[in-house]
Amino acid sequence: MVRIRAFRPGDEPALADICLRTADAGADATGILDDDDLWAEIFVLPYAARHPEFAFVVESDDARVVGYVVGAPDTAAFEEWFATEWWPQFSGRWPEPAPEPASAPSRQDGTLRYAYARQGGAQPFGEDFPAHLHIDLLPETQGQGLGRALIETLEEALRVRGVRGLHLVASADNTGAIAFYPRVGFTALPSPEGTRAFGKRL
C-alpha cells in the first residue's frame, strides 16, 4: 500500500529523480538543461539538507519513493542559508553566467541566474506566509489524493512549530498545479510575471 513517511537519509537520489522528471512545469525536464543535476540542487536537495524534519515522501508498495513535499519554516532564513552556505559549493561546477545578452538566455543560464539571485529578505510573502514548500509527484501517483495528503502532513508539522502561514510559487505554465492549490485551501497572491503564487494561513 502507498504510504507517506518522513524523509530519511538515502532518499536523496529518488528526490532528485522525481524533481527532474517533473521540473518542466510538471513534465519531464530530462535534457532541457546542459546538466540535469541542476534542478535538484536548487529545488529539492537543499530543503532535505537544511530541514529534513519538514520533508516527507510517498513510498509505493514496492518501497520506491514516488513523490515528496519539502518545506522551509522561515523563508528569509532559508534563502540566506542557500545564498551563503548551500549554493557557493557549486560555484566551480556552475559558474554565474555572464551578463544577460540582448538575445534570450539559455534555459540553463536563466536557471543559474535565479539560483545566484536568491537571498534572504527578498520574499514579498514572508511576513504573512513565512514558510514555503515544493511538492512533486510522479505521474503514476497523481489523482489519488496524495498531493493533498502530503501538504496536510507538512502543514501539521509547521503548525506544531508555530508557523502561521505557508506559500508557494508555481510556473504560470503549470496549469495542473494552478488548478490544484485552490482545492487544498490556498489563495492566489499577487505574482511576479510568469509565475502564480499562493498562500495559506495555518
Q: What are the structural domain ranges in the chain?
A: 3-201
CATH architecture of 3-201: 3-Layer(aba) Sandwich (3.40)
C-alpha grid cell for residue 107? 534555459
- Tell me the pLDDT tens digit for each residue of 131-169: 999 999 998 888 889 999 999 999 999 999 999 999 999
Vertex 115: Cα angle to 112 and 116 (nearest 5): 90
What is 35-104 written as a DSSP string? Answer: -THHHHHHHTHHHHHH-GGGEEEEE-TTS-EEEEEEEES-HHHHHHHIIIIIGGGGTTTSPPPPSPPSSP
pLDDT tens per residue across span 12-23: 999 999 999 999
Residue % of the chain over a pLDDT of 90: 76
Task: Summarize the confidence of residues 62-79 as an average pLDDT.
Answer: 96
Beta strand pairing call for 131-137 and 65-72: antiparallel
What per-residue confidence (pLDDT) applies to 64? 95
